[in-house]
Chain A
């Protein structure tokens, strides 16, 4: 359009300048109206170069959209209401489109009928722990400089993971520690890395030859900072792993699973959750209780509808109490074999070139 205007200006140089400009703008305006009239919403505000006009068109479009949306919501509500009044099935609720349910198709997602997957499971490094041939024994250590939140976090980890032992790092090489842990029959090694007195990375190494997973640790909340937190008992916890769907996720899930004993003590009513969502693994630690509640509140609510006579309607409710810590992990790399940053072979490394889509997830 700019070009056009220039041309018209060039042609009308004989006239007085102001006149020519105004006329050309008028022509443009007419053009715009014609366009918008003929093609409807084809005109994008972003193609208009005049800022005032652009913002005006944009505002108009936005207003229109808002009105339409409100109208649609109104009709939807009306339909639902009428269906309820007539006692019919209300129309099905629409499912919003989210990043998760429009996830890019991934061929590595594990299928339950994949026999090769199970054969692979039987052959992998965690097999002996997960088949209860040996009990997990965890060594926890830190990076070389460690203070404030690091030790506090470790003391809480020790209460979360049964049969975990803390060893001071000292000035040992990590490879030496791996060697030591291997001879002492540890099955996993966890290294908590702190930076500026704040834990920021977690290294989980399977022993004797298991993989090494490097996680970024963020959003750490310790127990004492959680409101109404509970204190965990020393029973073996139950483990909940959700959403580890791909082949890589499955492997990470098994790595995490091998940290915990495979026979939870259900009397303890303790549950440890690793929930994967969009490649972030959320860690939570809860106590739960099932209570048979005499439905007092519900009676007062439903009392009008259901006059049963036996006012104490028994209902089982699960109540949760969080007992920290609480943190989020994100996988940075999974390395084949024990820790070896120089000559190690990676099974998976996060690379920048992978982040070309928001809908692509790896776990």
Chain B
């Protein structure tokens, strides 16, 4: 008997996600518990234009004055406000004027959360890296309005690779080290304070048939937030590899996964799990201590997964890619929470960790046991005196915020057992 009713997705906890697509649109997706946790597109920023295709994006989601950096296909890097979508600064990333931006596309972009080199508080530091290996780090003055002239000091540029194409880059949790890798480029770690190369990987030995697989890294990440020595990389030859800088230059563990290239990889908070998405739409979790596949995320996902993001507090994973769906998954049960159709090929997804559901906050205040939070509210107001206000109250309320999602996840597990 065929199933006549649709399987209901359980809905996700209050969450806010930003997606970037090939037409250069930025879409804001919010799920609120008021609507039963069904995520919806609430805002769309920008006009469709294929030359403004987003290649990389990075967010600095601090509590006050958060910023969002977006790298476009036309070679410009824009700094936006992730709350309103207003353009703050736009800079052109032309390190070499003889190269067209199409030939030397930006592949990696990172916005630093801490301030570097005693820059003023109104500036942000950006690390960009292009396909040809031109990395540059610069501080940009963020004016109050885009009309103000922006003064950016001369960028610090260096060359990451001599040959080959850079395809992925990543900055570690303490923002001292950067990692680059790509097609024909072995992984290399750079110290950002001194701009020197610390470590280079070595390709694994030939296999038993004497076949050498060419170097082709497609995605890379640090295994845990505070340790820059453990690196997880996904390769084009469908392998997930663990490198340990402190022990050896060859991979410590390498795991084969299915048959298509690993396209995106993200670490979990616990420091030993990674999530890898492939070119044919498989998403899986791996335990890097043992090198074992923990399980796959099943949900009729049919297009290449370009980006995976882990929420810093809630047990939620977001993935997006060429099938134009943004999907939210429960990390524990690996169950699909919900999916949103966004019409375009998506390139990146970012999660706004400071998003708070107003309704949820109010219910939390109603609870008699949470009296302590009333005092915190005054603190919140102090925070909100900052020049750019965050619409929602900030992190102090997080303990209450955590309450509900945890319950929800438990409920999910219960459901699993039922089914």
Contacts and interface: CB of A to CB of B under 8 A. Distances in A.
B257 to A, nearest CB: 14
A133 interface: no
A118 to B, nearest CB: 9
Interface stretch (B86-94, B337-345, B406-414): B337-345
Given A346-B322, A348-B323, A353-B298, A108 B279 contact: no
A343 B261 contact: yes
Contacts of B344: 116, 120
Contact of B322 (A347, A350, A357): A347
A108 B3 CA distance: 21
Interface of B: 2-3, 6, 22-23, 25, 48-50, 216, 218, 236-237, 260-261, 263, 279-281, 298, 300, 302-304, 306, 322-324, 341, 343-345
B341 A343 contact: no
Nearest to B25: A116
Contact of B48 (A119, A350, A351, A358): A119
A114 B279 contact: no
A30 B266 CA distance: 66
Contacts of B343: 114, 116-117, 120, 247
Contacts of A123: 22-23, 48-50
A344 interface: yes
Interface centre among A104, A105, A350 (most CB of B within 10 A): A104
A43 interface: no
Given A116-B48, A117-B343, A345 B6 contact: no
A264 B281 CA distance: 39
A343 B281 contact: no
Interface in A319-350: 336, 342-350
Between B48, B306, B345, the greatest number of chain A beta carbons within 10 A of the residue's beta carbon is seen for: B48
B280 A349 contact: yes
B2 A354 contact: no
B6 A347 contact: no
B281 A357 contact: no
Contacts of A354: 300, 302
Given A116-B48, A345-B304, A357 B3 contact: yes
A90 B12 CA distance: 52
Nearest to B343: A116
A343 B23 contact: no
> Of A105, A122, A345, which is in contact with the most chain B CB atoms at under 10 Å from its CB?
A345
Contact of B323 (A107, A119, A347, A350): A347
B281 A346 contact: yes
A350 B298 CA distance: 14
Nearest to B324: A247
Contacts of B300: 351, 353-354
Determine which residue in A117, A123, A357 has the highest number of CB atoms from chain B within 10 A of its CB, and name it. Answer: A123
Contact of B303 (A342, A343, A346, A356): A346
B2 A358 contact: yes
B23 to A, nearest CB: 6
Contacts of A356: 3
A336 B23 contact: no
Nearest to A115: B48
Given A346-B304, A347-B303, A120 B23 contact: yes
B5 to A, nearest CB: 10
Given A120-B344, A346-B280, 19 more contacts: A104-B6, A107-B341, A108-B341, A116-B25, A116-B343, A119-B23, A122-B48, A122-B50, A123-B50, A342-B236, A343-B216, A343-B218, A343-B279, A344-B279, A346-B302, A346-B304, A347-B304, A351-B302, A357-B2
B253 to A, nearest CB: 22
Contacts of A107: 341
Contact of B279 (A345, A350, A357, A358): A345
Nearest to A114: B343
Contact of B345 (A343, A344, A347): A347
A359 interface: yes
A346 B279 contact: yes
A8 to B, nearest CB: 34
A346 B344 CA distance: 14
Query: Which 7 pairs from chain A and chain B are nearest by CB?
Result: A119-B48, A123-B50, A345-B304, A345-B279, A347-B322, A343-B236, A343-B261
Contacts of A114: 343
Contact of B302 (A344, A348, A357): A348
A345 to B, nearest CB: 4
Contacts of B322: 336, 345-347
A81 B105 CA distance: 74
B161 to A, nearest CB: 19
28 contacts: A104-B6, A108-B341, A117-B343, A119-B48, A120-B48, A123-B22, A123-B48, A123-B50, A342-B236, A342-B260, A343-B216, A343-B236, A344-B279, A345-B261, A346-B280, A346-B322, A347-B303, A347-B323, A347-B345, A349-B280, A349-B281, A349-B303, A354-B300, A354-B302, A357-B2, A357-B3, A358-B2, A359-B2
Contacts of A358: 2
